[in-house]
Structure 1
Amino acid sequence: MWFRKNETQLDRIKNKLSQAMHKDADFSVFGASSHQYRVKEKLTAKELADWQAHNQVTLPEPYALFLTNVGNGGAGPYYGIYSIEKATSYTERQALLAKSVLHPGMTKEEWNHLTEPLTSDEDIPDEEYDDARNRVLGGMLCIGTQGCEYDMYLVLEGKYRGRIVYTSDFHPDHPFFFVYEDSFLDWYERWLDEIILDYDIGWFGSRMPGDENALIQIYQSASNEEIQAKALDGMFKFKEVSQITLDFLKSIVEQSSKNRATAVRLICKTSFDTGRKYILELLQSDEYEDFLQGLMILHASSKTANLTEFIPVILQRLDRIDDPETLRYAGYILEIYGAITLQNFAPFLCHADLKMQTTAIYAARSCENKLESWQIIEKMLKSGDPQVMKSSILYWGVIPHEKMLPYYKAVWPEYRTNPNFIEKFIGCLRELHLPDDYFDNEES
């Protein structure tokens, strides 16, 4: 009975592979050009049995059925599914035969304790590092890559046998991610469904599955805010939403719930004009985090929407910014509209915090007529921090003003042999009608 059920699913998958190929004929989905929705020749039952006997592993049945009934790798999420031979070559035998220790609810503390040998000691011997790594990846088979440091694993044993795990490097506080589906075939079929439905699947599998109605119901019946947040996050895969969903999102915003900013982002993704008044509310909110969220939404929309009406609101609230991230996003938006001046950014350029200073210097890189504000620049450079000087030279060049000369002379030895900067220094001197060797002259 179990096989008959999956036989039907296997038939669906074969049909949906053809539909997906037709839907994404130009291979615009991430990774599709590498596999072009084609699978490799299927494994025979004997080849599968031989592999399992040789490796002393029994594969989860849904994955084994895929290999013998659909294909031995090929088309699949991201860059596709590895053949069983390639999967084996990318999996350490010690890890393949080990116990699986990961689980979906793993806390940051559990993860940090597990990966501590991999993150805390740069001089750890290779053998010890490999042993620690294999403990983390134990009981799993590497079945594909998402690119860079991201891979996809199949759990081979234990309570979560058959689940797919997305991995990355061993970063503190970031446990590996278990996808929502319980089996390989369910995960694989969802991938095909989302292509056919023309969803945005750039990070396929990391968001909660379900159509608009299903996610609304999950949100409304959720027992905690974490599930609500995941239900909303799942909606980012929709390129457009219905009026019913739009009204649902508006109701969340108007309730001023913890998920208000996420709801505004979703509204703006579908209809920026509808979301304008909500962005203004975020920017004018007494909650500092709302202001940051509003800036982030504007930044995400900056290439397609006119943001002119928001510029005065941002400028009015500049004096409330007290962290580099918020300053960075404010800078992105203000720069587009030429609204950054050294005068309005002076508090940040002369800030006691180095990160605030360097963020402000980068944000003000396009400001014209810096010479007119030489007093601000001199005050900024008086901090004496080398990084401030380096950032100003990198992003602003060498400002040709006599008051700046002592500061440039002090760092000249560091730049005099660098061809990328020497012309900037010489250009400054020539604009001031000074000799090219001015900075080398002990009497200057």
Structure 2
Amino acid sequence: MNSEITYQIQRIKKKLLLAKEIDKDLEVFGADSHVYVLSETAAVDDIFEFEKKYNVSLPDCYRAFLLHIGNGGISYQNSAAGPGYGIFPFGENVDEFVYSNPENCLSQDCFIYPKMSDEFWEESIKNIEENDDISEEDFEAELGRIFAGILPLGTEGCTYYYGLVLNGKFKGRVVNVDLDRQKPFFAFESNFLDWYERWLDGITAETAIDEKDLFNYTLGGSTAHILDVFVTTEDEETKLECLQGFLKKKKIDSQTLDILEKEYSLSAGKIQKKLLQILVKFDYNRAYPYLIDWVQKDLLSVFQFVYWYAKDRSLDWLEVIKENASKINDDETFNFCTYLLKETGTDYSSVIISFTSHKNASIRVTAFFALGQLKNKVDYLETFILGLNDEVNRVVHITLQALEGVNEKKLLQHYKNIAIRFPKEQDYILTNLNHRLKAFGLTNKTIKGIDPDNY
């Protein structure tokens, strides 16, 4: 084991103790399961037998972890302290990705690679996803091909796992795998120990910044380290990784924000957008003029950033929303528009009503839902009546829900029309209709026999 790995092992041991001390309440994801416990280290003979059985040679950093830090613990499936629910005990759970014949799969070169395109991945899983007649044997063979050479390391829960590349050009890299076969993506770090230390740095770095021995080695380290990586790399994906690292921080000092603001003015595209997101999160007033600039080119991002990080300043955006409402034609932008409007605490009906007749049914659904959130919604009966007579079931459904608490007899004729239009339940419309009719002592069946004008 070389001196660099030896020193890193020492750092990690210190950081494990520090992480346990800092996270006393076990607030870090998965910590309440692994509680920062690692069992005794693995035996050299066990590693030798594993390598012989599977015809592989473990990456040096993973081997060093097993021999000098720990193996297994008390977490899910006896996992050791680590990202998610921890690191699987050595030699166990080897078939998590392939179901059968891991001996063959683990010995193969890794098929996937960093920065692979969506098109490459979709083509790779096409036979599994689109071939309804694929045999069980062929299905397992396909899994073995696409997940070849990857040793399962641990899980974040559900279908999300970490894996370690055992063979090929990217040996030693950690890769994030989804068993539902969403595209895998590789961790930033070049080896297991760097990846593991980044997890610890995310817990300890800012608190332990004065500890000289606790060198911040990866993107999960101090803001100073992340900033250094950001300004020195030319690779866009690495820059975006750095910026994502900033977003995970609870706070960023003003000096760093000054630098990031300058970088914002020098950047474009995805990087500039991510820098804007950081500025909004950590200094809304600083970011405000840049948000105004972005209104004309990306209204959705403006609404998202304000709602995520500065919803208490939503009133600042009421006039902007009014001025740009006519430009909103996609449901996601409109969704966030309504989120901000609700946060303003005002009667935003003048903005919403025009969207209740929008050609996009999803937008109409959101518009009626938002209108139903107003305390004075009874003032907009004529608009709600349009929703009750909409041709799309989802719109009728949401309008019925939005009218909760509005018991105006004027609505009875339209409720009767719905009962006649839907003789059988569709999309929970009759269920919601009966909720509205209960206040009148009626049901979807009895309303058909009344004269609404004289009821």
Interval containing the TM-score (normalised by the shorter chain): 0.7 to 0.9
The 5 Å alignment of 1:131-170 reads: 131-170=141-180
Deviation at 1:41, TM superposition (A): 1.8
Moved more, 18-27 or 7-16: 7-16
Moved more, 48-57 or 181-190: 48-57
The alignment covers a number of residue pairs equal to: 426
AA partner of residue 275 (structure 1): A
RMSD: 3.0
**Rounded Cα–Cα distance in structure 2 between residues aligned with 1:435 and 1:241:** 58
Do the aligned partners of 1:261 and 1:294 also contact (CA within 8 Å) in 2? no
Structure 2: unaligned runs, 5 residues or longer: 73-79, 208-217
AA partner of residue 272 (structure 1): Y
Q: Percent identity?
A: 25
Deviation at 1:397, TM superposition (A): 4.0
Moved more, 222-231 or 93-102: 222-231
Deviation at 1:80, TM superposition (A): 0.7
User: Secondary structure at the residue paired with 2:373?
Assistant: coil
**Rounded Cα–Cα distance in structure 1 between residues aligned with 2:53 and 2:426:** 62
AA partner of residue 141 (structure 1): L
Deviation at 1:163, TM superposition (A): 0.8
**Rounded Cα–Cα distance in structure 2 between residues aligned with 1:319 and 1:419:** 34
Q: Does 1:327 align with 2:300?
A: no
Match of 1:393 among 400, 425, 434: 400
Match of 1:101 among 99, 111, 127: 111
Deviation at 1:145, TM superposition (A): 0.3
Deviation at 1:51, TM superposition (A): 2.4
Do the aligned partners of 1:357 and 1:388 also contact (CA within 8 Å) in 2? yes
**Rounded Cα–Cα distance in structure 2 between residues aligned with 1:416 and 1:101:** 44
Q: Provide the TM-score with structure 1 as the length reference.
A: 0.85
Q: Does 1:310 align with 2:317?
A: yes
**Rounded Cα–Cα distance in structure 2 between residues aligned with 1:438 and 1:293:** 49
**Rounded Cα–Cα distance in structure 2 between residues aligned with 1:210 and 1:313:** 38
AA partner of residue 293 (structure 1): S
Moved more, 245-254 or 88-97: 88-97
Q: Give the match for residue 304 of structure 2.
A: 296
Q: Give the match for residue 60 of structure 1.
A: 59
- Residues 215 and 48 (structure 1), Cα distance of their counterparts in 2 relative to 1, 3 Å cut: closer
**Rounded Cα–Cα distance in structure 2 between residues aligned with 1:198 and 1:214:** 11
**Rounded Cα–Cα distance in structure 1 between residues aligned with 2:350 and 2:4:** 70
- Residues 69 and 121 (structure 1), Cα distance of their counterparts in 2 relative to 1, 3 Å cut: same
Deviation at 1:386, TM superposition (A): 1.5
**Rounded Cα–Cα distance in structure 1 between residues aligned with 2:436 and 2:168:** 65
Deviation at 1:253, TM superposition (A): 4.1
Q: Give the match for residue 94 of structure 2.
A: 88
- Residues 89 and 215 (structure 1), Cα distance of their counterparts in 2 relative to 1, 3 Å cut: closer
CA deviations 1:353-398 (Å, max 9, x no partner) are 1222122233333123434323222333444112211222244449
Deviation at 1:76, TM superposition (A): 0.9
Do the aligned partners of 2:39 and 2:70 also contact (CA within 8 Å) in 1? yes
CA deviations 1:307-359 (Å, max 9, x no partner) are 32222322332222111000000111111233454443122211111222122
Deviation at 1:246, TM superposition (A): 1.1
Return structure 1 stretches of 4+ with deviation > 6 angstroms: 415-419
Q: Give the match for residue 360 of structure 1.
A: 367
Structure 1: unaligned runs, 5 residues or longer: 200-206
- Residues 186 and 253 (structure 1), Cα distance of their counterparts in 2 relative to 1, 3 Å cut: closer
CA deviations 1:179-199 (Å, max 9, x no partner) are 122211121122222311148
CA deviations 1:122-143 (Å, max 9, x no partner) are 5544333222222111111101
Deviation at 1:209, TM superposition (A): 5.1
CA deviations 1:26-72 (Å, max 9, x no partner) are 11111111111110122111222222223333222221221122111
Do the aligned partners of 2:205 and 2:222 also contact (CA within 8 Å) in 1? no
Deviation at 1:214, TM superposition (A): 4.3
Q: Give the match for residue 262 of structure 2.
A: 251
Q: Give the match for residue 380 of structure 1.
A: 387
**Rounded Cα–Cα distance in structure 2 between residues aligned with 1:110 and 1:103:** 10
Q: Does 1:117 align with 2:127?
A: yes
User: Secondary structure at the residue paired with 1:47?
Assistant: helix
User: Secondary structure at the residue paired with 1:265?
Assistant: helix
AA partner of residue 282 (structure 2): T
Q: Provide the TM-score with structure 2 as the length reference.
A: 0.83
**Rounded Cα–Cα distance in structure 2 between residues aligned with 1:438 and 1:368:** 30
AA partner of residue 48 (structure 1): I
AA partner of residue 190 (structure 1): R
